[in-house]
Amino acid sequence: MKSKSLQELADSISASAKTLTDYLTSNNLAQPTFEVGAPQAWPELPLDVMKARSELCDASKLMNILGQGNRTYLTWMVYSQADYGALQWLSHFNIADHIPLDKVISYADVAKCANVDEAHLRRLARNAIANNIFCEPRPGHLAHNSVSTLLRSEEQFRDLIAFILEDNLPWTAKLSSAYERWGKEMGSRMNMTAVNVAEDMEEDVFSWMARDQELMTRFAGMMRAHMETEGHGVELFVKGFDWEGVGGGTVVDVGGGFGHISITLAKEFPKLSFVVQDLPSVIPEAEVQCPADVKDRVSFQVHDFWHENPVKDAEIYILKSVLHDWNDVDSTKLIKNILPAMKPGVSKLLIVDGVVPDPGTCSLHDEKPLRTMDILMMINCGAVERETDGWKRLVEGVDDRLKVKNIIRPPGALNSVIEVTFS
């Protein structure tokens, strides 16, 4: 493979940085910086500017590796687990809360307020600063930068850090042991995963977690933080399918959680009615949270998707962020439970989930998050983020009347919309 030279990468960075800066300036939008108060995410961008941003991310990443040298890059990538330790400690002891947003504060004062040892705080915070989280504008004094304010303002970020770095990291370390135990059968059942080895238990991870309320709270916060990351916006999902073309009728949102997809669609498409199905632990609260203006067209129903779907002949059955939690055997059962409700030639299945792009077919910036999620799913529940072939094999293998008609990844979205017809 021919790789780009340092100079070519530098040119690419320079060109894409200019495209981005010009776009923000001409649209009166704030430039990204590390100052407190700077934007925490990019605004919606037109396609060419979005492409420039992906090029900037890819080229600067490769430039960084070349700049370090391969041996140094790989070595310090492995050691970066120490950085995770520092971040986890700083988040666990809520250090960000004790640093004012608008002024500097001495390490001694932060240590006193947070009730931690100053020497440890200094070492751990300086590690984070070396990763551009917090800053030390004058010796012995801490201050926020735009990155560290996320730890202060967003409770769910702390849950994300706690769940991934305290709970999940030890599971990650057991991936090879799990493979040694089960070989290619690893993950073929939800209780044959790295979590089972790490925790020395034989349940599936969700049943096991359900007994630990604190762990469940961290998990829920982590999910909230995850859903707020770029690419998860509900409006992106709306763009991935011709909703106008459905006309009117019923949409069933299977495993729909709090129904935020159905609620968004109900607001945009007044001729459609929605049934959000989920477990008894979810539905009562979901019903309470449903906004009054769509309550007449969004109903909630307790339904366990391991049983046949009770809503017959609907126009659309949505499975959003559901199937990536389950291996092919379970996903097949799940889809089979919807089939008897579907009306041939009318009902469609809309699967909204990651479709991992084939290597080299898009920027690393667009591919890498899905590759990361794929391995997280492998570690945690033996599940998978599927590639195009994997989705086709799964769906069309359930029943030969099901056909994948279209796969659309709306620009900027992490997930794709997989349109499946039923003849």
Ligand X SMILES: C[S@@+](CC[C@H](N)C(=O)[O-])C[C@H]1O[C@@H](n2cnc3c(N)ncnc32)[C@H](O)[C@@H]1O
Which one of the listed residues 98, 144, 303, 324 is annotated catalytic?
324
Task: Give Dmax (Cα) for the chain.
Answer: 71
- Between 135 and 414, whose beta carbon lies closer to ligand X? 414
At closest approach, how far in Å is the CB of 170 from ligand X? 23
Q: What are phi and psi of 161, to 5 degrees?
A: -65, -45
CA–CA dist 323, 252 (Å, integer): 15
Residue with smaller CB distance to ligand X, 2 or 307: 307
Smallest gap from Cβ 269 to ligand X, in A, equals: 18
Q: 298: how many CB neighbours lie within 10 A of its CB?
A: 25
Q: Minimum distance between the CB of residue 228 and ligand X, rounded to whole angstroms?
A: 12
CA-to-CA distance for 120 and 273, rounded, in angstroms? 57
What is the phi/psi pair of residue 77, to 5°?
A: -65, -40
Report the 10 Å Cβ neighbour count for 127: 18
Q: Which is nearer to ligand X, 236 or 322 (CB)?
A: 322
Q: How many residues bind ligand X (CB under 6 A)?
A: 13
What's the min distance (Å) between Cβ of 318 and ligand X?
A: 7
The rounded distance, in Å, linking the Cα atoms of 159 and 147 is 16
Quick one: which of 53, 152, 297, 320 contacts ligand X (CB under 6 A)? Answer: 320
Q: With b meaning 16 or more CB within 10 Å and e meaning fewer, what string describes 348-385?
A: bbbbbbbbbbeeeeebbbbbebbeebbebbbbbbbbbb
Give the CA count within 13 Å in the CB-facing half-sphere of 26.
Answer: 8
- The residue whose two tokens read 């008609």 is 405
How far from the centroid of its chain's Cα atoms is residue 328's Cα? 21
Interface of this chain with ligand X, residues 286 to 315, rule: CB under 6 A: 304-306
Task: Rule CB under 6 A: say whether 257 interacts with ligand X.
Answer: yes
The answer to the question of residue 282 lying near ligand X (CB under 6 A) is yes
Closer to ligand X by Cβ: residue 198 or 318? 318
Nearer to ligand X by Cβ, of 66 and 223: the residue is 223
| 226 is an active site residue | no
Looking at 68-76, 102-110, 321-329, 335-343, which segment touches ligand X (CB under 6 A)?
A: 321-329
Contacts for 116 with CB less than 8 Å, ≥ 6 apart = 93, 95
CB of 345 to ligand X, least distance (A): 26
- Position 322 contacts ligand X (CB under 6 A): yes
3-state SS, residue 93: coil
Amino acid at 280: P
Q: Find the length of the chain.
A: 423
According to the binding rule CB under 6 A, does residue 278 interact with ligand X? yes
By the rule CB under 6 A, 321 interacts with ligand X: yes
Cβ atoms of 341 and 310 within 8 Å: the answer is yes
Tell me the two tokens of residue 177.
Answer: 């042991």
Q: Which of 279, 329, 362, 375: binder of ligand X (CB under 6 A)?
A: 279
CB 256 within 8 A of CB 279: no
Nearer to ligand X among residue 114 and residue 322 (C-beta): 322
DSSP 2: P
For residues 114 and 106, what is the distance between their CA atoms, to the nearest angstrom?
12
**Minimum CB separation from ligand X for residue 271, in Å?**
22
Smallest distance from ligand X to CB 190, Å? 11
**Contacting positions for ligand X (CB under 6 A):** 255-257, 278-279, 282, 304-306, 320-322, 325
Catalytic residue set: 324
